[in-house]
Amino acid sequence: MTGNVWFITGASSGFGKAIAEEALKRGDAVIASSRRGTSLKDLESQGAMLLDLDVTSDDATISAAFQKAIDKYGKITHFINAPGYLLEGPIEGTSAKDALDSINVNVLAIMNLSRLQVAYLRPRGSGYIANFGSVGSWHGGAAFSHYASAKWAVSGFTESLHVEVKEFGINATVVEPGYFRTGFLNEGGGNRKHASNLMETEYKDTGVERARIALDLYNNKQPGDVVKGSKIIVDVLTGSGVAAGKVFPMRLILGRDAMNRIRTKLADTEKLMKEWENVIVSTDHDDVQKA
C-alpha cells in the first residue's frame, strides 16, 4: 500500500471507475461508491472496497459511508466527486422537477460532499478534493442549458473552495474534460436523460434538434481516452508523473477539444469587453479615480 486512500463517488462508470482502476494499479486503497456500489464486482475483484451511496443522501448517511472507509483504512486522503448526468432538451420543455433533480445531483450533491470532506480533512491539515466540471463549464448551447449551468456552478464553487481551503493544506481542483469516450452519451445508461417534453415538432430544424443529432453522431466517437485522462488526474492528485514539480492546478482541463473551446471562449469574451469597454466603465461614480 502507498498510503493513499481514495474515496470515489460516481464510480460505476466513466471517469469515476477509470480513476479507481488507475489508483488500484498503483497500489493505492480505493473505496468505490455509487447508488448501486455493491454491484461493482469488477472493481472489487481488483481490490476496491465497495459501498452503496446515494450522493443526495443526508449528512449522517454520507458521514457514515466515510466512517466505514476510515474504519477499514484508518484515513481518507483523496476524494473524487464524479456523480452527474446530462439533462437534454429545450428549456421550455424542461419541467420544474427535471431542473430540480438535475441541480440536486449535479450541483448540490457535490457541494454537500465537499463540505463534509473539508470538515474531515481540515483537522488533518492535508488532503485532496477533485470535483467534476466539464468543457460545458465554459459555454452554453441549445439543448444542454441545465447541464451547462450545473457545470458552471461546480467550477465556480470549486474555484472558491480551492482558495478557501489551501491555507489548511487541502488541495481542491475542478476537472474540466472535453468529450471522452466513456459511454456518457449512451441512451438508457443513466448519464443522458431527456427533458419531460422534447417538443420535437416545435423545435424541428433548430439548434435543439441539431444538438441532439450531433450528440447521437458523436456518441462513442469522442476524441478523449478516459484511461489516459484518468492517469493524468491521478498524477496531478499525487504530484507525480506529468504533475511532478508543477503547481497544483485550480482547474484541470483535459482534451484538445476542451482546450480549443476554452480558448475560443476567452477570445470571444475579450472581444466583447473591448467592444463595450466605454460602456462598462461609464457606470463608475464621477469621483472615482480614472485608471
- Residue indicated by cell numbers 470538515: 119
Instruction: Return the amino acid letter for 187.
Output: E
Is the pLDDT at 213 greater than 70, yes or no? Answer: yes
pLDDT for the residue numbered 216:
86
| Residue 213 domain-assigned (yes or no) | yes
Return the number of other C-beta atoms located less than 10 Å from residue 285's C-beta. Answer: 5
Task: Find cell 502507498 and name the residue.
Answer: 2
pLDDT in tens, 9-65: 999 889 999 999 999 999 999 999 998 767 788 999 999 999 999 999 999 999 999
Domain membership flag for residue 286? no
At 62-103, the pLDDT tens digits run 999 999 999 999 999 999 999 989 999 999 999 999 999 999
Residue 271: exposure state from Cβ atoms within 10 A (0-12, 13-18, ≥19):
exposed
In a domain? residue 196: yes
- pLDDT per residue as tens digits for the range 111-160: 999 999 999 999 999 999 999 999 999 999 999 999 999 999 999 999 99
Q: Kindly state whether residue 289 falls inside one of the protein's structural domains.
A: no
Residue at 84 is within a domain: yes
Q: How many CB atoms lie within 10 A of CB 35?
A: 17
Which structural domain, as residue segments, surrounds residue 9? Answer: 5-281
Angle 12-159-280 from CA coordinates, rounded to 5°: 130
The total domain count for the chain is 1
CATH number of the CATH domain containing 72: 3.40.50.720
In a domain, 119, yes or no: yes
pTM flag (> 0.85): yes
Q: Establish if 288 belongs to a structural domain.
A: no
Distance CA 234, CA 2 (A): 13
